[in-house]
Homo-oligomer: A and B are copies of this chain.
Amino acid sequence: MRFTLHSTDTGSNARAGEIVTDHGVIQTPIFMPVGTAGTVKSVHQRELKNDIGAEIILGNTYHLNLRPGTEILEQAGGLHKFIGWDRPILTDSGGYQVFSLAEMRKIKEEGVSFQSHIDGSRQFFSPEGAIDIQRSIGADIMMAFDECTAWPCENLPARKSMELTHRWLKRCISHFNNNAPLYGYCQSLFPIVQGGTHHDLRKISAEFIASCGMDGNAIGGLSVGEPAEEMYAITELVCEILPPGRPRYLMGVGTPVNILECIALGIDMFDCVLPTRNARNGMLFTSRGIINIRNEKWKNDFSPLDEHGSSFVDSQYSKAYLRHLTISREILAAQIATIHNLSFYLWLVKTAREKIIEGTFASWKNEQVGILGRRL
């Protein structure tokens, strides 16, 4: 994996760059649609590519390990071949889901034992195991196995958790270095900065992560309920420490406004379930603000979903039609809203990139922040 910085904004810390992987190029800043169990829900792979313009998607190690499981993934030749997606894939380590979804989890130095949320079966994730699953998946970018603390979390437990994450990271890196990829192409491993909302811990963690010299670095444990201002403060602090020559990935963030603000702080990569999950509940992120399509006011609004929208759904379907489909619980509602939202998110980061290169990002960002958060 190679990362090249193309340009840095004059009025902020925003960066435009390029990540080259064996499955193709990713232009940063980038948003990665979440494809939990080997599918970005309700979207065909060719739509991801041709309509949404996704350059990389995310898979969830926890889910993929339970279903279809590593045996089938290995027989298929990895997740890319299994799902029919030839662009890059990033996988999380499973840590986040273990802590948020699994039942009866028990954390020890060795790893975490837990019960599957699907069938209650006993499972165990260790740093080495999480790397092995991600090798079976064949992700272009793998994530280190970390512990996520909830918010709020006192300094002492946050410190203990961070220290465990750091010890686990060493084991992840060692296991990663000692085992070749399975499918003939390169895999990278990103470590994750933790430390809750404690500036002292975040500084320690960012310095430790930076010292590991990996291909890219991530910030975890944010967007877990803390105020946006705290998220921005931690992101700023960490970005100042992480090496500028490597991509910075802010995990699980966020709204269009969050993304623009964090691009301004120096983040290059984002993922979030908001555009997909909220689409399925009838929420549209548009160039003019946020729409709840279930609202009665749209029932006879035959205008396009988003007049500035770049995707075919924006011109082919009206607000009134999407409202009808949503109220009627039709599957097509989820399909249309998801394609719209993801297209919008990809448009947002692509345009941010253009503005950074043009040198007009900061003022454009400030203007957009005033628009994109409005409820229409």
A interface residues (Cβ-Cβ under 8 A, vs B): 37-39, 41-46, 67-68, 71-72, 75-76, 81-84, 299-300, 302, 312, 316-318, 320-321, 324-325, 327-328, 330-332, 334-336
Quote the shortest CB–CB distance from A258 to chain B (angstroms).
26
Give chain B residues whose Cβ lies under 8 Å from the Cβ of A81.
302
Closest 8 CB pairs of A and B: A42-B331, A68-B324, A39-B332, A84-B316, A39-B330, A37-B328, A75-B300, A67-B328
Chain A, interface SS category: helix
Give chain B residues whose Cβ lies under 8 Å from the Cβ of A72.
299-300, 320, 324
Give chain B residues whose Cβ lies under 8 Å from the Cβ of A76.
300, 302, 318, 320-321
11 extra A-B contacts, CB within 8 A, seeds A39-B331, A39-B332, A335-B335: A37-B325, A37-B328, A38-B321, A38-B325, A41-B331, A43-B332, A45-B316, A72-B300, A72-B320, A75-B300, A82-B324
Q: How far does the alpha carbon of A83 sit from the alpha carbon of B312 in the complex, in Å?
A: 14
Quote the shortest CB–CB distance from A236 to chain B (angstroms).
38
Quote the shortest CB–CB distance from A180 to chain B (angstroms).
23
Give chain B residues whose Cβ lies under 8 Å from the Cβ of A42.
331-332, 335
Q: Is the CB of A320 within 8 A of B82?
A: yes
Which of A37, A39, A42, A71 has most B Cβ within 10 Å? A39
Q: How far does the alpha carbon of A327 sit from the alpha carbon of B118 in the complex, in Å?
A: 11
Q: Nearest CB to that of A325 among chain B residues?
A: B39
Instruction: Evaluate whether A67 and B327 lie within 8 angstroms (CB atoms) in the complex, with A42-B332, A42-B335 already known.
Output: yes
Q: How far does the alpha carbon of A37 sit from the alpha carbon of B329 in the complex, in Å?
A: 10
Contact of A330 among B41, B84, B335 (CB under 8 A): B41
Give chain B residues whose Cβ lies under 8 Å from the Cβ of A332.
39, 41-44
Q: Is the CB of A83 within 8 A of B335?
A: no
Q: How far does the alpha carbon of A46 sit from the alpha carbon of B327 in the complex, in Å?
A: 22
Quote the shortest CB–CB distance from A52 to chain B (angstroms).
13
Offer 15 A-B interface pairs, CB within 8 angstroms, sorted by A.
Answer: A38-B321, A39-B325, A41-B330, A42-B332, A44-B336, A67-B327, A72-B299, A72-B300, A75-B300, A76-B321, A82-B320, A82-B321, A82-B324, A331-B331, A335-B335
Give chain B residues whose Cβ lies under 8 Å from the Cβ of A330.
37, 39, 41
Q: How far does the alpha carbon of A302 sit from the alpha carbon of B80 in the complex, in Å?
A: 13
Instruction: Evaluate whether A335 and B44 lie within 8 angstroms (CB atoms) in the complex, with A39-B325, A67-B324 already known.
Output: yes
Q: Nearest CB to that of A315 among chain B residues?
A: B84
Q: How far does the alpha carbon of A76 sit from the alpha carbon of B319 in the complex, in Å?
A: 11
Contact of A335 among B38, B318, B327, B331 (CB under 8 A): B331
Q: How far does the alpha carbon of A331 sit from the alpha carbon of B84 in the complex, in Å?
A: 16
